[in-house]
Amino acid sequence: MFGDLPILSIITFLPVAGIVILLFIDSKKNSLINTVATATGFVTFILSVPLFFAYQENTGGYQFVEKYKWLESFGISFHVGMDGISLLLVLLTTMLSLIAIISSYTAITSRYKEYMITLLLLQVGMTGVFLAMDLFLFYIFWEIILIPMYLLIGVWGGKERVYASIKFFLYTLTGSTMMLIAIIYMAYMVKAQTGTISFDFIDIFKLKIDPSIQVILFLAFALGFAIKVPLFPFHTWLPDAHTEAPTAGSVILAGVLLKMGTYGFLRFNIPLFPDATVQLAPYMMWLSIIGIIYGALMAMIQPDVKKLVAYSSVSHLGFVMLGIFALNEEGLTGGILQMINHGISTGMLFLLVGMIYERTHTRMIEDYGGIAKAVPVFATFMMIASLSSIGLPGMNGFIGEILIMTGAFLSRPVYGILAASGVILAAVYMLWMYQRVMFGPMKHAKNSNLKDLNFREVAILIPLVALIMWIGVYPQALTVKYQKSVKDLMQLKSSRISSTADSIKN
Amino acid sequence: MELTINHYLVLSAILFSIGTAGVLIRRTGIVILMSIELMLNAVNITLVAFSRYQQQVTGEILVFFVMAVAAAEAAVGLAILVVVYHHKKSVDVDEINSLRR
Amino acid sequence: MNFSEYAWLIVFSPFIGFLINGLVGRKFSEKTIGLIGSLASTLSFVISVLIFFQYSALSQKAPIQIDLFKWIVAGGINVSIGYQIDSLSLVMVLVVTGVGSLIHFYSIGYMHGEKGFARYFAYLNLFMFSMLNLVLGNNILLMFLGWEGVGLCSYLLIGYYYETDYAPTAGKKAFIVNRIGDFGFLIGIFLIIQNFGTLNFTELSTVVAKGTSVGNDTIFWITLMLFVGATGKSAQIPLYVWLPDAMAGPTPVSALIHAATMVTSGVYMIARLSFLYVLAPETMAIVAFVGGATALFAATIGTQQNDIKKVLAYSTVSQLGFMFMAVGVGAFTAGIFHLVTHAFFKALLFLGSGSIIYALHHEQDMRNMGGLRKKLPVTFFTFLMGTLAIAGTPFFSGFFSKDEILWKVFNYSSLLFWMGALAAMLTSFYMFRLVFMTFFGEMRYHEHGGHHVHESPAVMTVPLIILAVLSVFGGFMGIPHVLDVFHVGNYFEHFLSSSVKDSLPIVFGTKEEWGTMSLSVIIAIIGFTIAYVIYLKKKYVPGDDSTIKGYKKVIYNKYYVDEMYERTVISGTIRISKTVYEYFDKLVIDGIVNGVGKSIRRIGEGIRGTQTGLVRDYMLTMIIGVSIMLVYVLVNKFMMIRL
């Protein structure tokens, strides 16, 4: 379909072109900046859509692979490719980035040009993370994201933005430093085993690693990823970052950034350290379950809508992790689907909260009450997003959660049972919040003049609603795309378990 | 008396010491920049001397680099000082300490 | 023409109605909206009737499968969006679409002039869609979709008057309590996947029929967990608390969702999985006794309520208890039979109460009613028919079904029988109490503002009349053996037998059947008499809430169960969450994180003094360092030379 076109590089670096153009634009010309930024996001998104159809799900594996020489003497190359899992995540990234750009037209009032540049830079990093097939390249993209995100929170954030941004930065940096050490260690391991140093996935996946070292490496990687997810108890940066970030920042953060953590677990921890994975999976699952319930309980008592949604993310990402570490096909399929679902549903929730914040400049639940009467369209969308978030059958969240819980249950019934209790709590905090915000008599007279959503806002929500319904009714459309990848992953995992066991015996 | 390499090295050492002392003692930004220039040129003398001594051009090439960098440094440094002067009406480096806190 | 090929249209016709009314309904007139909603539902009914006639003519009544497409496929899960037509689902579909369509039409009148008319009909159609998925789905997951879907619609419709405080609260409570039940349901689903590897009803029953190696313990847990789901949806002890509150919704909604259809889905689910339940006699016993206890418990509460809808709500809980009692003892047919007749007469009673409430401008307190017999003749007459049916008057529909249940229960356990009989007496009592307090005696309602009490329009009374006819004669589909003088046979049982068969052995003979039957008639008369004496003869009207004392107060306040839940479960959870948030999340985790940050800062502050910010100082340090290194190198050189 694409012939020799380096489509993945184009998708990754197209936003850079947008950034370059933006640099030459007068920062007062907001509408021109809008046009350029939106066009960049839009073209990138449009270019990424055909990938969905071009990806051969029956062949599986990495497709559209590109490899260029880079730092040859260190075994580093620019190597990108896409499998079923990254396919969906890249599409999610390009879509949410575009939505984030459009959602910011009126929300951001200062340093508009720089803001758009930051968003586009963020997109480069995120796309790169999901496409990299070289550990060093992966790490670079991983770290690139930190800077624009830091700026996004720290410059365009709320009252406590400096605290939140520094907390975010230090938390994530701590994790990724551990990961960097492990990455370098593994590159040298390749050298020890084959003679040439290499950061390439293909070489690293052939490594034979002693189980005891696997555990250490697993933990080093896991720390980096777990903070990003965030897995309990590394979650406290999330509520602050989410609350303080501007709307688009929250959308990107919840929609894509958190997925980088779970993606990392899928891509590296499970296939690279299979023995450690099997050994540590119960702990990871317990942490996930604690996260599910803990996040839900914390969400329940938040007086701040955005913080509530942030804690609900902790709960949902707990589900994703639970599915992944159930280490069976149901769990993995559900976990991956739930990554996409969470991006859509929670992304939508943050968008909605942002839209109402723009009108009232408050995020406190008690400042609302009864506004459904003033903003019926908003209330409808909020209802859909909330229901999707609590996993109502017929919507996307249900499919992911039922698969995850089945997977967990098959792994060990108690996991499934505890996870299912999270479903009740989700209904409690979400509907309680909804009721306090939307229903009842109008609590504050000034809210009765609220303007309902305008055309632009509805236009960016409609695609999300369509996706919510589509995935809920016909999840097969997405799951077939990565079914082979999940099977490959499990195959790789089990084959490496036996091979390491053999090598130790010998 | 024939000029040996030692003469050049001593001259260079003296110039370098003067430069260093200038940087350490003086407070005026412009003089500090001049002193740095002096130190760089002292090094240049050494490089040229050794280059001549060893009958190689490597040192002389390096001198070109140093000169280029020195020029750039002087340009940027003076520009900064001009801006600072606009702000503070002084080029006293002791007073340029707003990053300390 | 094979109508069953169009079975998907039964399900999707209301969905199309939902989409039209939900998306563009606001632009239409009330008439158009009402007609779209009602016709969408009626279309489903017509198709179901056509399929019913075709299906009942078949000699071999094998389930008809209509698979639309694969829904979820991963590992051990493989389910489709697919529907199954057999005698059980047909009975349910006919009830749902039939009663549902009547209620749709009724709503056109009842909801006249309400804000959000289109929203109401959209929700109602969405409910029909979900309910039809529930009863027609050929696998448990699709049933669960419907199961949660009806819960959602119930939430939306209870909270229909969202500008009030109580309605959304009641809706939320309904949803959450249902979710607690669904938690059990989910675990049941997981257990089935784990042990049977399929969720399809037909495949499941084939596996079970072949003799399964799955242990009895597992089946016990599967069935029990699914029953937990049923207690939520069908308002049984201990999860019944949401149903009385659910009366905050518009009255037709109470009739459709909280009386005729949704709340019976637990009974349907057990009948649908009867092949599993019969393998777990312990669960069956639990189901039967929970049903019996609920029937009795709710009936006692019903006797002291003054809100007309609350009485009917507790009555519903109680009648559902009867149904569970029936399926619990293994009399699945009797349970479904009662489900059908109950759908007729309870829908009728609710719609009748709706007609009263409509006439009295949303007055629901029976203490402010009375003497409405003359003003609302049609409502009164149909309501009386419904009351006679539910009280178990001979040859009314409720008589046949309730009597059948009591008779079957008698064969199982006499204790349970007496619980049921007592509940039946209370039923008769509170229903006649209701009739006497609203329709007889003096008129206590004060007409004001030129509004006069008058009978509802035809669009409301015609459904009442149709339901009244069904309530009176509906019982003749299932004539018990002893009354079958013309030997027409029990048509209902015969029809259902192709998908559900009773497992209860009948140990007693005809004599005892006559005995239980006469007893239930006597019981009904006792209940009627007590109500007659107190509320018609003595013209007793309960006083204000503050004057209610003693045991009556306890019952009036529903035994304070809600308060108990509130004090323990709800505020407990919130308190724990708050404590954890303050002391763990903020203090411990954030404390560690911020502590690390702070200590690094403190160290930094300690060595900050060396950083003067003067380049000169740094340079001096550097020169000193370089000098030391030079000295070191030189000294080393000299030492080397010496050596």
Q: Which residues of chain A from 418 to 447 reach within 8 Å of chain C, CB to CB?
A: 420-421, 423-424, 427-428, 431-432, 435, 438-442
Chains B and A touch (3+ CB pairs under 8 A): no
Task: Decide if C620 and B93 are in contact by the 8 Å CB cutoff.
Answer: no
Task: Decide if B24 and C620 are in contact by the 8 Å CB cutoff.
Answer: yes
Minimum Cα–Cα distance from B17: chain C residue? C623
Mean of per-residue pLDDT scores for chain C: 85
Q: Cα separation of C404 and C316, whole Å?
A: 18
Of the candidates A334, A399, A406, the beta carbon closest to that of C190 is on A406
Residues of C in contact with B20 (CB under 8 A): 619, 623
Q: Is the pLDDT of residue C449 over 60?
A: no
CB pairs under 8 A between B and C: 20
Task: Decide if A410 and C76 are in contact by the 8 Å CB cutoff.
Answer: yes
Q: What is the pLDDT of residues A235-263, one digit of tens each?
A: 888 888 888 888 888 999 888 999 999 99
Place of tokens 């077939």: A480
Of the candidates C611, C614, C620, the beta carbon closest to that of B93 is on C614
List the single best residue of C21, C162, C228, C594 to mutate versus A (max A Cβ within 10 A): C162
Structural tokens at position A255 = 């929609």
Question: What pLDDT does residue A97 have?
Answer: 92
Task: Decide if A423 and C585 are in contact by the 8 Å CB cutoff.
Answer: no
Q: Is the pLDDT of residue A175 over 60?
A: yes
Residues of B in contact with C620 (CB under 8 A): 24
> C335 - beta bridge partners?
none
> A77 - beta bridge partners?
A69
* Among C206, C487, C503, CA closest to C333: C503
Domain ranges in chain B are 5-88
Which residues of B touch chain C, with CB atoms under 8 Å apart?
Answer: 20, 23-24, 32, 93-94, 97, 99-100
Minimum Cα–Cα distance from C594: chain A residue? A167
Task: Decide if B93 and C619 are in contact by the 8 Å CB cutoff.
Answer: no
| A333 close to C (CB below 8 A) | yes
Distance between A2 CA and the closest CA of chain C, angstroms: 30
Mean pLDDT by 10 residues, chain B (101 residues): 86 92 86 91 93 89 92 91 87 73 51
Q: Cα separation of A224 and A201, whole Å?
A: 18
Of the candidates B23, B99, B100, the beta carbon closest to that of C616 is on B23
Residues of A in contact with C75 (CB under 8 A): 328-330, 333, 406-407, 410
Domain ranges in chain C are 326-334+358-545, 612-643
pTM: 0.85
Task: Decide if B99 and C613 are in contact by the 8 Å CB cutoff.
Answer: yes
Q: How does DSSP assign C348-416, residue by residue? A: HHHHHHHHHHHHTTS--BGGG---TTTT-HHHHHHHHHHHHHHHT-TTSHHHHHHHHHHHHHHHH-HHH
Local confidence band at C391 (pLDDT 50, 70, 90 cut-offs): confident
Of the candidates A301, A399, A409, the beta carbon closest to that of C72 is on A399
Q: Summarize the confidence of residues A454-464 as an average pLDDT.
A: 90
Residues of C in contact with B100 (CB under 8 A): 611-613
Q: Is the pLDDT of residue C447 over 80?
A: no
Complex confidence, ipTM: 0.88
Question: What pLDDT does residue A506 have?
Answer: 43
Question: What pLDDT does residue A483 have?
Answer: 87
Q: What is the pLDDT of residues C311-366, one digit of tens each?
A: 899 999 999 999 999 999 988 988 999 999 999 999 999 999 988 888 888 788 88
Distance between B46 CA and the closest CA of chain C, angstroms: 18
Per DSSP, helices labelled H in A209-328 are: 211-228, 237-244, 247-252, 258-264, 270-272, 274-300, 305-326
Which residues of C touch chain B, with CB atoms under 8 Å apart?
Answer: 611-616, 619-620, 623
Q: Summarize the confidence of residues C542-554 as an average pLDDT.
A: 72
Residues of C in contact with B93 (CB under 8 A): 614-616
* Among A388, A327, A471, A479, CA closest to C73: A479
Local confidence band at C226 (pLDDT 50, 70, 90 cut-offs): very high
Q: Cα separation of C291 and C319, whole Å?
A: 9
Altogether, the residues listed in chain A come to a count of 506
Question: What pLDDT does residue B99 have?
Answer: 63
Q: Which residues of chain A from 87 to 106 reach within 8 Å of chain C, CB to CB?
A: none
| A84 close to C (CB below 8 A) | no
* Among C133, C12, C7, C130, CA closest to C80: C133
Task: Decide if C613 and B20 are in contact by the 8 Å CB cutoff.
Answer: no
Minimum Cα–Cα distance from A414: chain C residue? C187
Q: Is the pLDDT of residue A415 over 80?
A: yes
Instruction: Confirm if C301 and C318 have CB atoms less than 8 A apart.
Output: no
Residues of A in contact with C175 (CB under 8 A): 427, 431
Question: What pLDDT does residue A500 have?
Answer: 54
Q: What is the pLDDT of residues A328-370, one digit of tens each?
A: 888 999 999 999 999 999 999 999 999 988 888 888 888 888 8
Minimum Cα–Cα distance from C619: chain B residue? B24
| A298 close to C (CB below 8 A) | yes
Q: Is the pLDDT of residue C181 over 70?
A: yes
* Among A142, A103, A140, CA closest to A119: A103
Q: Is the pLDDT of residue C60 over 50?
A: yes
Question: What pLDDT does residue C516 have?
Answer: 83
Residues with Cβ within 8 Å of residue A115, at least 6 apart in sequence = A104, A108, A152, A155, A156
The neighbour count for residue A265, using CB atoms within 10 Å, is 24
Question: What pLDDT does residue C622 have?
Answer: 87
Residues of B in contact with C613 (CB under 8 A): 97, 99-100
Of the candidates C613, C614, C623, the beta carbon closest to that of B20 is on C623
Task: Decide if A406 and C76 are in contact by the 8 Å CB cutoff.
Answer: yes
Neighbouring subunits of C (3+ Cβ pairs under 8 A): A, B
Neighbouring subunits of A (3+ Cβ pairs under 8 A): C
Burial class of residue C100 in the structure, from the number of CB atoms within 10 Å of its CB (0-12 exposed, 13-18 middle, 19+ buried): buried
Question: What pLDDT does residue A346 have?
Answer: 92
Q: Which residues of chain A from 258 to 287 reach within 8 Å of chain C, CB to CB?
A: none
Residues of C in contact with A393 (CB under 8 A): 141, 144-145, 147-149
Least confident of A46-60, C206-220, C486-500, C612-626: C486-500
Residues of A in contact with C165 (CB under 8 A): 440-441
List the single best residue of A297, A398, A468, A482 to mutate versus C (max C Cβ within 10 A): A297
- Most confidently modeled range among B41-45, C216-220, C606-610: B41-45
Minimum Cα–Cα distance from A395: chain C residue? C145
Instruction: Confirm if C297 and C235 have CB atoms less than 8 A apart.
Output: no
Question: What pLDDT does residue A505 have?
Answer: 46
| A294 close to C (CB below 8 A) | yes
Minimum Cα–Cα distance from C611: chain B residue? B100
| A399 close to C (CB below 8 A) | yes
Task: Decide if B97 and C613 are in contact by the 8 Å CB cutoff.
Answer: yes
Count of alpha carbons within 13 angstroms of residue C213, beta-carbon side: 2
Q: Cα separation of C34 and C111, whole Å?
A: 10
> Cis peptide leading into C281, omega within 30 of 0?
no
Structural tokens at position C4 = 């069953």
Q: Summarize the confidence of residues A122-142 as an average pLDDT.
A: 91
Residues of C in contact with B32 (CB under 8 A): 615
Task: Decide if C623 and B100 are in contact by the 8 Å CB cutoff.
Answer: no
Q: How would you classify the pairing of strands A76-82 and C64-74?
A: unpaired
Q: Of C314 and C559, which is predicted with more confidence?
A: C314
Query: Looking only at Cα atoms, what is the longest distance across chain B?
Result: 57
Mean of per-residue pLDDT scores for chain A: 87
Task: Decide if C615 and B94 are in contact by the 8 Å CB cutoff.
Answer: no
Minimum Cα–Cα distance from C142: chain A residue? A393
Q: Summarize the confidence of residues C620-629 as an average pLDDT.
A: 89
Distance between A391 CA and the closest CA of chain C, angstroms: 10
Q: What is the second-level CATH architecture of the domain B5-88?
A: Orthogonal Bundle (1.10)
